Amino acid sequence: MNEDVKVCPIIANHIKVALVGQPNVGKSMLINSVSNAHLHVGNFSGVTVDKTEVLFDYKDFHFTVVDLPGTYAFTDYTIEERVTHDYLCAENYDIIINVVDSTNLEKNLQLTTELCTMSKKIVIALNMSDEAEKEGIEVNAEYMSELLNIPCIKVSAAQKTGIDELIDAVVETHAANKEEVKLIFSEAVEEEIANIIKYLQKHKYEAINSYRNIAINLLKENKKTYAKLHDNPIWTELQPILIEASSHIELHHNTDDIKEAFAEEYASFNRGIVAEVVKEGKKKEEEVKTLTEKIDNILIHPIFGIPIFLFFMWGLFQLTFVLGAIPMDMIDGFFGWFGDALGATISNDDIRSLVVDGLVGGVGAVVLFTPNIIILFVGIALLESTGYMSRVAFLLDGFFHKFGLHGQSFIPLVTGFGCSIPAYMAARILKNDRDRLLTLFIISFMSCGARLPVYVLFTGAFFSEAIAGNVLFGIYISGAILGLIAAKVLKLTAFKGADEPFVMEMPKYRLPSVKLVWHTVLSKTLMYLKKAGTFIAGASILVWFLSNYPHNQELEKDYAYKVEQAQTQEKKDNLLNELATVNLENSYLGEIGKFSEPVFKPLGLDWKMAVALEAGLAAKEVVVSTLGVLYSLGNGVDETTSSLKNIISKNIPFASAVAFIVVIMIYLPCFAASIVFTREAGSIKYFFYMLAFTSLTAYVLAFIAYRFTLLLGY
């Protein structure tokens, strides 16, 4: 070997490469396959580990390649692992070539995903591609490059194929600007990453590494990242955020070790890549399958997978209606008794009406549906915690792409069945702005838990208990189908552009964590009840006030005289109900309703239903309490029609009820969700776009539904 070429001169066309890979992936053989390469062997500083450098010229470039010791992951278990990690973190180099074994891609990607957090340019060499082909393993390198946003090149060190393509990719990547790698974690981790990024941005923390990678390394408890930030003044505020973030992630992984949680996160991501880019031949398929693979063969079967998912969702909505109905009578009875008992202690008619009809009646109408909400939340939490939801996202990816959505959109969309607020936040998992905005718009079509009480009320009013669960399932599925159609329309108009692929994580199947399910359901149920006890209570009082004032003293005196002259109790009750109806029509709420009634009349909706929809802009739960206040004051109320369901079925035509439900399904989410939507979308203009889009869509479809139902003779 010529001693004069041990070290390449540092000139403009010099590229220094860190060659990284797990043991026995053929790193040394690969780089020594380069023509005219010169080998230089020394030691890494302070250790006896060999430091091999390969120097060569290629076209107009001079290369120095440092062949780092093989390491399975960034741990300090061995000297070799420590040397590799220290070099990558502390030394100067331009680009990383990550060599992986194409025949064992999932295991090799364990190191790759950790390299992605280093804010260095990377090229992946898919070595042993010839052996992979012999074993019936086909790796789609082009698609893998798109998924990771990293050039992936098939090579064979043994056959000396793909070497020039690899070096060309290194030159091209070196010359290009650094792009963010598409390393995506579960919703819980992404939420905490976003929180830390927000904190670093707020304090304008200066760093070479990206905020996202700093956040990931902080969550992983990377010692070097901790050391850099520990002496910074922001550390005092940042530390409690990190402690809370770790607790949240550990809870979702049912572990008390954050490193174990991240190991599972990386493994899930890697399984997602392999599922997307690797096709195995018959020879490989005949090998003994793991339990996860056996279950996947059934649950994400290309033909039976979607029907199985729909069956699970149908079962969930059946349980929501059937089991939820059991405690509803008891809750209804309790609030009825409580209202009567409380009313008996209040002598003033106005105050008694405020407390009994406004506060107790309004809040009680919302709390009544808590069992249904809990069952829905439990079902979704169970499907998520077992790892099944991630599989469905993978299964639906191809189907979703036909409508302009990504498979990753599935998680936020399903979360939207519980509550729109966390669903909008979950859309952060989509890193492409166009995909994220499109998903944010479509979440509005997923019926949140707050809409469930309206659906349960109307299905119970117009259908028997035997089929009400099926109708409820149909409403939810119809909303989802409308959402997909809306996505296609928006993709062809407002959100044009090519699809950008992302990796979908594939976590292992695991038994549901009771602690995690309990935490998820409890927090969401308390959020629902908190709204019932604060915001909805206030809204109920406001609706009561608007529906009871102003008083018409002369009219009341006139009816009081008529009641006194009435000969039978039935006539007295009819006169009192007639008075209540006239008072309601002349109230502030009646004036508002009648003012907007012409807009809603083509949909078959009277002014009371119009007012309920308008109140629902504040919170969908208020729709039920508003209907409770309005219709409990109308005529046709006696001891046999004390239930709101009976009152609804007697006072609202079926065709009008269908139109009403269609509007509820589609129109703007609650005020709080709208604020979160605006924040996640990044501009107030998107709120007005969504307001216009959902309102127009809801109106047109409700009109069609109303007319079609009338044509059917209902």
Q: pLDDT class for 664, splitting at 50, 70, 90?
A: very high
Helix (H, G, I), strand (E, B) or coil at 552: coil
Strand partners, 126: 100, 154
Helix (H) or strand (E) holding 172: helix 163-175
Show Cβ contacts of residue 559 under 8 Å, excluding neighbours closer than 6 positions.
Answer: 575, 576, 578, 579
Selected residue with higher pLDDT from 430 and 269: 269
DSSP state of 55: E
Residue with tokens 């470039």: 61
Separation between Cα atoms, residue 244 and residue 154, nearest integer Å = 43
Domains of the chain with bracketed CATH: 3-175 (3.40.50.300), 187-299 (no CATH), 309-501+513-550+587-711 (no CATH)
Show Cβ contacts of residue 188 under 8 Å, excluding neighbours closer than 6 positions.
Answer: 248, 249, 252
Q: Supply the angle between the helices 621-631 and 644-651 in degrees, to the nearest 10.
A: 70
Residue 277 has pLDDT above 50, yes or no: yes
- In this predicted model, what pLDDT tens digit does every residue of 221-245 receive, in sequence order? 888 888 888 888 888 889 999 999 9
pLDDT for the residue numbered 3: 43
Q: pLDDT class for 638, splitting at 50, 70, 90?
A: very low
Residue 604 has pLDDT above 90, yes or no: yes
> Which of 326, 367, 361, 321 lies closest to 340, judged by CA?
361
Continuous H helices in 566-670: 569-585, 588-600, 607-615, 621-631, 644-651, 654-666
- 30 touches 125 (CB < 8 A): yes
Separation between Cα atoms, residue 574 and residue 328, nearest integer Å = 30
- In this predicted model, what pLDDT tens digit does every residue of 168-212 receive, in sequence order? 999 999 989 888 888 888 888 888 998 999 899 988 888 877 888
The model's pTM is 0.65
Separation between Cα atoms, residue 333 and residue 340, nearest integer Å = 11
Strand partners, 67: 19, 52
- 462 touches 655 (CB < 8 A): no
Q: Supply the angle between the helices 305-343 and 452-462 in degrees, to the nearest 10.
A: 90
Selected residue with higher pLDDT from 63 and 429: 63
> Which of 153, 154, 149 lies closest to 176, judged by CA?
149
Please state the φ and ψ torsions of residue 280, each to the nearest 5 degrees: -105, 140
Helix (H, G, I), strand (E, B) or coil at 113: helix
Separation between Cα atoms, residue 81 and residue 74, nearest integer Å = 7
Residue 302 has pLDDT above 90, yes or no: no
- In this predicted model, what pLDDT tens digit does every residue of 519-563 receive, in sequence order? 878 887 887 777 666 666 777 777 778 877 887 778 878 878 887
